[in-house]
Structure 1
Amino acid sequence: MYFPMMWWWDPTFYLVIIGLVLSGAASWYVNSTFRKYDQVTSRSGASGTDAAAYILRSAGIHDVQINRIAGNLTDNYNGRDKTLNLSQSTADSTSVAAIGVAAHECGHAVQDKVRYWPMALRAGIVPIANLGSSLALPIILVGVLLAHSQLLINIGIAAFSLALLFQLVTLPVEFNASRRAVNILSSSPLLSGDEVVMVKKVLTAAALTYVAAALTTFLQLLRLIILFGGNRDNN
């Protein structure tokens, strides 16, 4: 009975709650902001697909294919196969929000073209970050329950820290893509000045989700350090 009670009253659980609140608030904010400006039809009448095609062409990018994919706000740029994938709600919509999202993904295509080094660094980190985050807890549990080894515990914590490293590297990549998107739209016929201001609000809300993800991962890492970092091998 002691272990369940100790787990229930573990004060570090508040870090988990804080992380959930941050993630939930960021998700609510980006969705509500997108819905608000998704109701505003652009004066140019351009759709997300039209905007993406215009931006890629203007940037001298001719080897990227624009695809329509299922989902809502599942938009992404894939540098491996040179595809810009727009969700149905973005691709077909003529709203200010849709054009902003499409422009953001085009920002990633421009990053790829100019070899923006944080983007290349993030791509290189992905495999080890995924491996580290999936193996971290099993390694820590083996260190605590079976081997009683602080070395294994530290290895597990270090493995989980790779997930935080990925989140931190993601921040400048996403911020830069949004900045490129706004700059491109500001000098294009796709949106007027007041519509660009709306796009900034949409992209700022989206950026906060990445900040929240980084903070949440940091809190999870902090919790692991508090719970297991002070363990010592008594053998």
Structure 2
Amino acid sequence: METFWYFFEVFGYPLAIMALIFAVVASLYTKFVFSKFSKVPTASGVTGAQVAEQILRQFNLHGGVGYEHEVRVEQVSGTLTDHYSPKEKTLRLSDAVYASASVAAAGVAAHECGHAIQDEQGYIPNRIRSALHIPASVGSRGGPWLAIGGLILSGYAPSIGLLLLKIGIIFFLFATLFYFVTLPVEFNASSRAIRILDDANILTNQELRGAKRVLNAAAMTYVAAAASSLITLLRLIAMSRRRR
């Protein structure tokens, strides 16, 4: 076990740099694939907004009278800013998706619908992620700073410095858990999206392959974020063990 922590203490920085490169490459690749399939029109000619509305109606989440959990579909500015807000029951599609009748738009719109369906059906990983959102947000911002402060202070006041370092690690642990719980949530939303697009005949088989490429590329950004967070956490733990 000591060898394991020694490895992260010695090779932590190179691993962190590799994780950063992976994250940058994943982000650039996602933009490249999205741009490519944004230029490929669907045979049906339906826009991202129409795809979202059709899927939500299929699951009784949009367009009905007296639906308990009516989900609105709105347009939001930016690129790849698409998201579903469980608190507001609102699905927001970016400019490049909302009014676009492309393979990429259909895939992204269906993916966000997957999150709305997860919310409605009480998908457990999604509920866990929602519960972790606030502590993870605080942990990702404050955890590293507390840990760094603890490392600096440990040279002058070892006991206080070590305490701050451990608190920082605990804070950052919530962020790491959030990133890892996000993985099954995102993969499940993409799986639902492809299955629904296929079952509803919204996309042809060839178009489905393009949509899968878009969603798989986007999923890699979440994998990169989780890997980077885990490496940072293990580095902090390794440094805290050295200062015990």
Q: TM-score, normalised by structure 1?
A: 0.90
State the secondary structure of the residue aligned to 2:100. coil
C-alpha contact 1:44 1:189 (8 A) present in aligned 2: no
C-alpha contact 1:91 1:98 (8 A) present in aligned 2: yes
Tell me by how many angstroms 1:159 deviates. 1.4
Give runs of aligned pairs for residues 39-78 of structure 1, distance below 5 A: 39-62=39-62, 63-78=70-85
Q: Among 111, 117, 128, which residue is 1:104 paired with? A: 111
State the match for 2:208 in structure 1.
196
Aligned mates of 2:206, 2:235 — CA distance in 1: 44
RMSD: 1.5
Give runs of aligned pairs for residues 87-98 of structure 1, distance below 5 A: 87-98=94-105
Ranges in structure 2 where 5+ consecutive residues have no aligned partner: 1-9, 63-69
State the secondary structure of the residue aligned to 1:128. helix
Change (3 A) 1:184 1:134: same
Tell me by how many angstroms 1:141 deviates. 3.6
Give runs of aligned pairs for residues 216-227 of structure 1, distance below 5 A: 216-227=228-239
Aligned mates of 1:175, 1:136 — CA distance in 2: 27
C-alpha contact 1:96 1:195 (8 A) present in aligned 2: yes
Work out whether 1:148 is the aligned partner of 2:137.
no
Aligned mates of 1:175, 1:12 — CA distance in 2: 28
Which string of whole-angstrom CA distances, capped at 9 and with x for unpartnered residues, describes residues 79-125 of structure 1?
Answer: 10100000011001110011000000000011111111111110110
Change (3 A) 1:141 1:35: closer
Ranges in structure 1 where 5+ consecutive residues have no aligned partner: 1-9
Tell me by how many angstroms 1:162 deviates. 1.2
Tell me by how many angstroms 1:130 deviates. 1.3
Q: TM-score, normalised by structure 2?
A: 0.87
Which string of whole-angstrom CA distances, capped at 9 and with x for unpartnered residues, describes residues 120-160 of structure 1?
Answer: 11011011111122222332244333342223322211211
C-alpha contact 2:12 2:231 (8 A) present in aligned 1: no
State the match for 1:212 in structure 2.
224
Aligned mates of 2:109, 2:214 — CA distance in 1: 12
Aligned mates of 2:29, 2:118 — CA distance in 1: 27
Whichever residue aligns with residue 131 of structure 1, its letter is: V
State the match for 1:35 in structure 2.
35
Which string of whole-angstrom CA distances, capped at 9 and with x for unpartnered residues, describes residues 148-197 of structure 1?
Answer: 22233222112111111000000010001001101100011321111111
Number of aligned residue pairs? 223
Tell me by how many angstroms 1:38 deviates. 1.1
State the secondary structure of the residue aligned to 2:242. coil
